[in-house]
Structure 1
Amino acid sequence: MAKKVFQASGLLGGLVLAAAAPMPAMAQDGARMESIERQLRALQSELTRLRRDAATREAETRAARQEAERTRAEVQETRRRLDTAPAAPVVAAAPAPDAGRLTFPANRPTLTSADGRFSASLGGQFQYDLGGYLRDSPGTPNNRGVRDLDTFGQNLRRGRLLFGFRYDDFTLNVTPDFGGSPDGTVGLYEANFNWNPVKPLTLTLGYFKPWVTLGDSMSSNDFLFLERPSIVEIARNVAGGDGRASAGARWAADRYFLSAYFTGGSYGGNATQSTPDQTGGVARIAGRPVANADMDVHLGFSGSYASDIRRSSAGQTLQLRDRPELRIDQSRLIDTGAIAADRAYTYGPEFGVRWRNFMLQGEYIKIGMEQSQAGAAPRPDLGFEGGYVEGSWVLTGETRRYSSTSGAFGRPSPRQPFSLAEGGWGAWEVMGRYSVADLNDKVRRGSAASTTGGVYGGRQEVVGVGLSWYPNNLLRFMLNWDMVNVDRLNPAGTTQIGQRFHTIALRSQLAF
């Protein structure tokens, strides 16, 4: 705008100078002067308008600057007041309705509250066995007819529903079992209350399976064979086993495992007793000195002690026995009978090693018993023993993962679940085992057990091979072939009542 005013002023000045310059008299006339005057008046009008517009713009600019200054001052004053005023109370928004959420950790349906403090889960375990016994003709040395084994049969080995309820650090577990050995009677696998005051520590009270031995700590879903080795099954039931009244603790860290429990009787044992139940305890310690992607090394030791043997109508007795690592037929071919005993104990080392998709593990277990003294008959302390070695090779390359919560190896997880559409075949595994359980002590062949106070409980050896197919993480099919040799004499020590035979069995398993 100032530029235009300057240009107009210069033009007007030029016209005035031009008009004042002397001109020849003949060139001046009235018409030209009048034209010049009109132009001068027009230019003066334009100059006046431009000056007026410039003044208006300047006034507007000053007004805008003043308004900006006032606004800036008001903002500063508002900030000062907010900084010095007391904080206003925060009103929380109304909480949204607690709808909860349903998830499937480890394929187990779990309902969790919106705040995460409460959850309820449902699990299941179904194991159905089909199989039988292959024996020589009746009357031959390997089939003496002392034990009439079924040639073919079936059994719902485990049919469990696992109910779990958690609130903060407290958990309640209740698991009824519709299977068994044999099936047909509903039982209770566990009913216990747990508290986790710190992450690795779990305190437990109720009916529980306390941790003792490597074979017993392994989940029944992960067994290499249909049943535990006989020496494990015998030893764990001295003061532990399924549904045992327990109170104790477990510390399960990534590289080591510690557990100890005071134990009483098993679930249902009080129904036929008029005197107090047995008391005892179990303990286990295990470590994993090597743990990497290719290799796991496991070392451990466990033991149990029964200081007051379970009492029944026959007195305070303990009976050690087991079936031939199969539950199709319920005959127990090694059996000490009921022994009057004051105390009993078990102990033994355990080991395991995994190299990529190969796994090997085993245990040695010693069982001791202090017989009750009565009359003049000899009643020495007794000792029984046994052990096993078993191995697994996963043909499809998966590994048996190590579980730090149990201090034992678990089953493999298929990389490619079975699917005809996508060409997956699941995981395939071959297994082998040798186990022995010797329940003979303080006896001599040809002499009666009563003369020495010993026991002809029998010696059982089992050599087994197996094949497992895991279509996915829920299903498993196990085929086992066992060669069983039972060497047992009658109480007089003169007659062989053992047998030799083969067993074949298939297990169908669904677990989540």
Structure 2
Amino acid sequence: MVVCQKFRLTLLITTLASTAFIFSQQASADTNQEATLKAMNQQMIEMNKQIMALKKEVTSLRSRQNKLKAETVKSNINQRKKNINVAQQPSTGMGTAAPSNQTIASTQPQSSAVPIGQPGNNITQQNPRMINVADQSSAQRDEAQQHQKTVLDLLHSTGLPPPDRGASFWSPNMPLLSSATEHDETIYVGGLRIGFPAGRPTIATDDGRYSFAIGLALQEDIGSYINSGTRRGETKGRFSPFRENLRRGRIPITFRYTDYSVNITPDFGNGEAGLYEANMQYGGFKNTILTFGFFEPRVTLEGSESSNEGVLMERPAAVELARGVAAGDSRFSIGGLTYGKRWYLGAYFTGHAYNTTKNNPDIIKDQTGGMLRFAGRPYASRDIDLHIGVSASSAFDVAQTNKGKLYNFSGSPGFRLTQETLVQTGALNNVSSVWEAGPELAFRWKRFLAKSEYIQYGINRSSSNSNLNFDGYYTSLTYTILGKPRSYDIRSAAFRAPGVEYDFDPKQNHWGALEVSGRWSVLDLNSHKNASDGVNGGQQTVWTGGLNWYPNPHFRVMLNYDHIMASSTPNNPLNKHGRNMDAIAMRFQAAF
């Protein structure tokens, strides 16, 4: 019994001792682990301090190296100037010798660029601080480069087509021509920047004071009038089942010196060589551009969009009629525009269009007029843009011809694959002035965009003839399927094309940008049609559907279908009894 009790007591003491030993070992291990972690943490802190110190040393060394390079280049250039001056001095009795060509060559700054044209070599860019800036201080160079960066931040948008005119200050997505960056594949040659800002070939001096750019806006149309809708007693007209047309063939050319620019753009579209613009601009005022010369003052919402970015192949007939009153292509203009984040104002005094006098030798006195457009964006967010505006233009004094003051309104039936018109007023005489005005409204919600405009037209006549009033309107809907949705541009108070996020590449599952559009448009050229001095010009309604594909920012393929319905115009042999017709067309566009 005693032995059993001793055994139990021994077992109990052994168990307690082993348990205490285990707990003591675990506590010791925890203490050691904690100490190890603290030591490692302290080592990491010390290493971070050493890394930061090394970064500061590297930054300091780079700064010293750049400063030394700049000083070396400046010293070499100054030495070269001294050598040239010495070489140009006349010989004296001291027998001073001109420096040899070898000496002069050795004083030229060394370029880091690989020679162009040698096999296996690529063009590398030089440091812009080392080129064409010998007469500028470091502060001036820094200020110029900061200005260029600011311009890029404001104007350079990726994935959007270049404009259809000269790349001057107003252009929605073109940076100022001194602002080409490495992203735009800029190289430096002999103090010049050569690059492709927004895809437009550009040459500029390194300080950005001088620049030159040349672009392209090419649009090839091909289509068919499926059903010309001719009725008995009507002339069939030139509605061909197959026709092609070079709609636009513009070559925008821009010269710029500081805040001044000159744009000249010949246009070879519609089967003839002509001039789209030739003007001078000043952009020295903040968010303001002044223009003098032949120019297209942008009137109406749809008319303010670049032809490279329209939702459909042609603008509505109501808009085209409004543009023709006192704005439109190659119109002589004096005026300007100014804008802010939420507002836009444009005003121009205008004259005749380029070549008008040459094409019509009967003109004795040219037309004078003007246009005004005011627009605002009262609400804007990432997903929503609300646009409200109003535009107006007037021919204060219509052109005087040897047959009197005549005027004619007509509406094109959709595509420019024919010169025929179904609705028209005919030549109206005794016209003293013509005007047009109307509101504009647009709403974007994410990828959906709706636009609408109503335009009233007036023809004031002298003598005993009654004044005439016509109207037109449209509504369009657009949805972006692929790519970035259409965006609002404050510099034109209009909407941009959808943005291409990635160029077309099926292997990478990249398909460019794709959108679908529809539009209903009406133009009514009837006014007092039952009166003896009224006009029965007819009413035209066009339903249009379209699909636009942008494989990249520089190319676009458009497919449009038009259904045209025109009421009768007794004085028009093409449309005596009313006419319905259908047409389908495609456009292949390139823009640089």
Fold shared, TM-score > 0.5 on shorter chain: yes
Structure 2 residue 532 is matched with structure 1 residue 452: yes
Quick one: distance in 1 between partners of 2:314 and 2:558?
A: 11
Q: Is the 8 A contact 2:514 2:550 kept in 1?
A: yes
Structure 1 vs Structure 2: percent identity of aligned residues? 40
Partner of 1:155: 245
CA RMSD of superposed structures (Å): 2.0
**Are 1:127 and 2:224 counterparts?**
no
How far off its partner does 1:416 sit?
Answer: 2.5
> How big is the shift at 1:177?
0.2
Confirm or deny that 1:487 pairs with 2:577: no
Which protein has the bigger strand share? Answer: 1
Residue equivalent to 2:58: none
Structure 1 residues 290 and 137: CA distance shift in structure 2, 3 A = closer
Superposition pairs of residues 216-235 of structure 1, within 5 angstroms: 216-235=303-322
The whole-number CA distance in structure 2 between the counterparts of 1:189 and 1:105 is 23
Task: Note the 1:38-437 alignment, pairs <5 A.
Answer: 93=75, 94=77, 96-97=131-132, 99-135=191-227, 139=231, 144-180=234-270, 183=271, 185-271=272-358, 272-340=361-429, 341-373=431-463, 379-396=465-482, 398-437=484-523
Residue 442 of structure 1 corresponds to 528
2:389 and 2:472 map into 1 onto residues whose CA distance is: 17
Q: Aligned partners of 1:354 and 1:146: how far apart in 2?
A: 42
- Alpha-carbon distance in structure 1 between the residues aligned to 2:224 and 2:572: 31
**What one-letter code is carried by the residue in structure 2 that aligns with 1:158?**
R
SS at match of 2:325: helix
Aligned amino acid, residue 305 of structure 1? S
Where 1:319 maps in the other structure, the secondary structure is: coil
Cα deviations by residue, 1:77-111 (Å, 9 ceiling, x for unpaired)? xxxxxxxxxxxxxx975375552111222111111
Which residue of 2 is the match for residue 66 of structure 1? Answer: none
Q: In structure 2, how many angstroms separate the alpha carbons of the residues matched to 1:452 and 1:310? A: 25
CA separation of 1:383/1:139 partners in 2, compared to 1, >3 Å: closer, same or farther? closer
Q: 1:136 to 1:123 in 2, by over 3 A?
A: closer
User: Residue in 2 aligned with 1:474?
Assistant: 554
Following superposition, the deviation at residue 498 of structure 1 comes to 2.7
Give 1:281 shift. Answer: 0.3
Could you list the per-position Cα deviations for residues 454-504 of structure 1 after superposition, in whole angstroms to 9, with x for gaps in the alignment? 1111100001111111101011101001110011231499x8443101110
TM-score of the superposed pair, with normalisation by structure 1: 0.76
One-letter amino acid of the structure 1 residue matched with residue 556 of structure 2: R
| 3-state secondary structure, aligned to 1:165 | strand
Q: Name the stretch that deviates more: 483-492 or 278-287.
A: 483-492
Per-residue CA deviation, residues 9-36 of structure 1 (Å, 9 max, x unaligned), is: xxxxxxxxxxxxxxxxxxxxxxxxxxxx
- 2:373/2:392 contact within 8 Å kept: yes
For residue 101 of structure 1, what is the amino acid of its counterpart? R
Please tell me whether the aligned partners of residues 225 and 582 of structure 2 are also in contact (alpha carbons under 8 angstroms): yes
For 2:544, give the aligned amino acid: G
Query: Structure 1 segments of 4 or more deviating over 4 A?
Result: 95-98
The corresponding residue for 2:186 is: none
Task: Name the residue aligned to 2:11.
Answer: none
In structure 2, relative to structure 1, the CA distance for the partners of 1:379 and 1:157 (3 Å cut) is same
Are the aligned partners of 1:414 and 1:473 in contact in 2 as well (CA < 8 Å)?
yes
Counterpart of 1:100, as a letter, is: L
User: What is the alpha-carbon distance in structure 2 between the residues aligned to residue 492 and residue 443 of structure 1?
Assistant: 14
Aligned-residue offset at 1:441: 0.5
